[in-house]
Structure 1
């Protein structure tokens, strides 16, 4: 039987190319003289066998090349800008970035967080938590910025008005509102994400998340806190300087529109009156309208 097996091996050699003679001879007869199966025969492939397009691997060992797994981060929408580094977190709704080689302050559109650094204002309830949350989202990272033509490019303090997105495309303002770290804030006109932000605030209020469960009301001061001693911005509004009983704020926005804000409105406490720029107080809505101002769209 051994001789017959080797004869079959020789016939295999005859059929194969000259370059494979040695391999065929070694495979034709085993230690017991029995014919072995050709590489194309049945049975498991040897450790040195390969299939087209594959890489050879040793028994029990990997190839040494680990396949690259797809990133778990969501791909941001193509409309977002390039990544820019965050230099610092100023407070819960304002950050500083480096854009085009220039340090730029960014005021997030559509969100208002409790104050921690507003001049002559006590630290407000949940203000520190809001700042801390912002730090956890963007500090020492890179973000993407997006403008909204409906809101102007900058505010009266020279801060760029932008939506801020994390590197994986999450809207930072919406995250803050949803967690109860701030409220939805419409300065004057509706903005792109207003419906989503308002829905996020409604859900946070309903769940008493963050400041909605911890604070008596939005903007309430922390017990025992003292007014901020930070330098006041040029020309801040001073209610004491307004004529007696004249508390309607006549503001001029970044587009030159004259808008008045009534006490108790959503925008009243955030509006700063700078008389040197033509802004003023009014004693009645009729007087404001007669002077060319229109009502804010809260």
Structure 2
């Protein structure tokens, strides 16, 4: 098959309605908008939670691991309950895009309304009212200052920092002082993700060369909290 034919086939797979499915079970929560359920990785559609390596500022201007907190709040809210998810298609990493319910409650809505995710993508209007409620109540991320998750992934000195209240004058220096984070955001997030020849490669603490990887060398490097999270977002384990 030609390269053009391969790309066409991949596009057809991603957009095909045959990817639609109804899933049910107790999920494994990988981050604030990614779960595993019935051996399927599902990306909550239409919302963006902070990356697990993301750092925000609280109401007093102090740094906190908001990405890990968003994931943990979803785990707490789930509390081992059964989810029902409806998926529609696959994203670029092969994750099923969908929305989920816990006992009839829309999880996507709960994440945005509680301030742990933003309304995003082509469906942004669907959750924008819930985002307004969260910002008005200074809930979750809106309690302080933060970078939108899609901007965090490609942040630079010109990246905009947002918040429901006034953004501290030193917010840019604190959040963007070292654009790749030299230290993990949480003691549990020790996996190093690096880019090599256009590939996303992750390195575990006990692998050879792990200690020699400087996480401030280049953009695109990030800390990951689990192998499942890494693999679900397109990272491949280093061979050595």
TM-score, normalised with respect to structure 2: 0.50
Higher helix share: 2
TM-score, normalised with respect to structure 1: 0.41
Higher strand share: 2
Where relative contact order (Cα < 8 A, 6+ residues apart) is larger, the structure is 2
